Amino acid sequence: MRALVKTRPGPGLELVDVPSPSLGIDDVRIRVHRTGICGTDLHIRSWDPWAARTITPPLIVGHEFVGEVAEIGSNVHDLAIGDLVSGEGHVVCGRCRHCRAGRWHLCAHSIGLGVGRDGAFAEEVVLPVANVWHHWPRIDPEIAAIFDPFGNAVHTALAFPVLGEDVLVVGAGPIGLMATAVARHAGARYVVVSEPNAFRREIAARMGATVVVDPRERRLEDVQRELGMVEGFDVVLEMSGNPAALRDALANMAHGGGMAILGIPSEEVTLDLNQVIFKMLTLRGIYGREMFETWYKMSVMLQSGLDIGPAITHRFSYRDHEAAFDAASSGDSGKVIMDWRE
Ligand code: NAD
Ligand code: ZN
């Protein structure tokens, strides 16, 4: 099969022929239709320090995908050939305290698809059946391809109750864009989006932001005043990984507020704990998705009218993977999709 592979340490990815993955009794073989490019894939392509210490080539990359069931292991009974599925990219150990308690997303030993095991940027991918999400009827197949980052957005946006609250989204990358629509759908009063990139601010405005802010030009204090907010943001969704932006958000929170932190900083972050203590804030780290409550919520919200379509901006054939990756790393893009069908 064709697959996009990190063949050796160093920058780049190669489209090569590799053997089809083997299938265990609890596994599902999935014929990949479409995939989404994640920042993780960009790190692996560019071979930054994180990738160099995390990835052991050769490795098929990629973890955002949708496809159809092509083969099932002898122990799999609740899926049929042709079913439309995506996969949870964190393969958990199943044995630790949290796994045994059903809190799979807290497993400290999970292995990442396309990071610690061969991924989905290929014509076929194999996953344990426990990781497979069978899509509900009438799902848009492009949206199905990005359930993984959509799940990051939902997990973060619903970390604190947003009904009637004033929400600040810091960073309108693909995940911040989707989180903006989710916060709006879930009943927030104001959703303010802070993002330096003009292309992304424009999409954020279309996805339900009350106000979009270029943080280099407008202060959040001024935005609050214009909106008539009295104290500060009740909920912050940190999706930039930028330390200065996180500190600025902290300074603009209301007493008792909650900050859900998804953005991954590239260095250690210092912050004023006095802000956290005297405003009695809750800071919560978010990693991945809740298995499988987040997946359920995604499916339900799509059925009840949530539209994350504008977050998808580019589409390519897998053969044009270089152009697809360039579009994803340009910044002037939302989600970039690659099609793996002939
Ligand atoms: P992205 O890099 O495309 O988006 C980050 C955005 O933040 C960019 O649009 C950037 O312009 C913006 N930004 C930079 N400086 C800013 C500032 N000072 N103020 C406001 N915005 C600023 O990434 P993404 O794919 O949307 O993911 C969002 C973040 O979440 C990234 O940091 C990513 O590494 C991280 N992530 C975490 C998880 C997890 O499980 N915790 C999963 C996926 C991604
Ligand atoms: Zn575990």
CB-based contacts of 225-232 (< 8 A; 24+ apart in sequence): 227/166, 227/190, 227/192, 229/166, 229/190, 231/255, 232/166, 232/257
Atom of ligand 1 nearest to the CA of 215: 19
Residue 240, pLDDT score: 98
Prediction pTM value: 0.98
pLDDT digits (tens, 9 = 90+) for 103-118: 999 999 999 999 999 9
Q: Following DSSP, what letter does each residue of 299-316 receive, concatenated?
A: HHHHHTT---GGGEEEEE
Residue 95 confidence (pLDDT): 97
Tokens of 244: 């200065």
Identify the pLDDT of residue 134.
Answer: 98
Residue of minimum CA distance from atom 2 in ligand 1: 173
For 137-181, how does the pLDDT look when each residue is reduced to its tens digit (9 = 90+)? 999 999 999 999 999 999 999 999 999 999 999 999 999 999 999
Mean pLDDT to the nearest integer, 236-245 = 98
C-beta separation of 220 from 194 below 8 A: yes
Active-site entry in 35, 40, 156, 294: 40
- Ligand closest to Cα of 101 equals 2
- Please say if the pLDDT value at position 297 is more than 90: yes
pLDDT for 127: 98
Q: What is the distance between the alpha carbons of residues 57 and 54, in angstroms, rounded to a whole number?
A: 10
Closest Cα to atom 12 of ligand 1: 171
Which residue spans within the chain are E strands per DSSP? 2-6, 14-17, 27-36, 59-60, 64-72, 84-87, 90-91, 111-112, 124-128, 132-134, 166-170, 190-194, 211-213, 233-238, 253-261, 282-285, 312-317, 335-339
| pLDDT tens string 307-330 | 999 999 999 999 999 999 999 999
Q: Which amino acid is at 86?
A: S
Strands 90-91 and 84-87: unpaired
Task: Quote the ligand 1 centre to 266 CA distance (angstroms).
Answer: 11
Strands 64-72, 84-87: pairing kind: antiparallel
pLDDT band with cut points at 50, 70 and 90 for residue 342:
confident
Q: Which residues line ligand 1 (CB under 6 A)?
A: 39, 152, 170-176, 194-197, 200, 215, 239-242, 244-245, 262-264, 286-288
Q: What is the mean pLDDT of residues 325-339?
A: 98
Residue-level pLDDT at 160:
98
CA of 137 relative to ligand 1 center, distance in Å: 31
pLDDT given at position 120: 98
Residue in 195, 212, 236, 248 to alter for ligand 1 test, most ligand atoms within 8 A of Cβ: 195
State residue 30 phi and psi, 5-degree precision: -120, 130
Say if residues 227 and 252 touch (Cβ distance below 8 Å). Answer: no
| CA–CA dist 282, 286 (Å, integer) | 13
Tell me the per-residue pLDDT of 251-291, one tens digit each, with 9 for 90 and over. 999 999 999 999 999 999 999 999 999 999 999 999 999 99
| pLDDT at residue 337 is higher than 90 | yes
The confidence score (pLDDT) of residue 267 equals 92
Give, for ligand 1, the residue of 239, 283, 335 to mutate: max count of ligand atoms closer than 8 Å to Cβ: 239
In this structure, how many other beta carbons lie within 10 angstroms of the beta carbon of residue 8?
10
Nearest CA to ligand 1 atom 8: 173
Mean pLDDT value across the chain: 98
The candidate with the shortest Cα–Cα distance to 91, out of 137, 46, 130, 41, is 130
What one-character-per-residue DSSP string does 29-90 give?
A: EEEEEEEE--HHHHHHHHT-HHHHHH--SSEE---EEEEEEEEE-TT--S--TT-EEEE-SE
CA atoms within 13 A on the CB side of 237: 37
Torsions phi, psi of 289, nearest 5?
-130, 160
Q: How far is the CA of 74 from the centre of ligand 1 (A)?
A: 41
In the chain, pLDDT over 90 holds for what percent of residues? 99
43 catalytic residue (yes or no): yes
pLDDT (tens digit, 9 = 90+) per residue, 53-80? Answer: 999 999 999 999 999 999 999 999 999 9
**What is the model's pLDDT at position 49?**
95
Q: How far is the CA of 111 from the centre of ligand 2 (A)?
A: 10
Catalytic residue (choose from 7, 33, 35, 43):
43
The rounded percent of the chain whose pLDDT value lies above 70 is 100
Name the residue of 203, 240, 248, 266 to mutate for ligand 1: max ligand atoms within 8 A of Cβ.
Answer: 240
Question: CB atoms < 10 A from the CB of 195, how many?
Answer: 27
pLDDT of residue 125: 98
Q: Across the beta sheet with 14-17, what order do the strands follow? A: 14-17, 2-6, 59-60
Question: What pLDDT is stored for residue 188 in this prediction?
Answer: 98
What pLDDT does 76 receive? 98
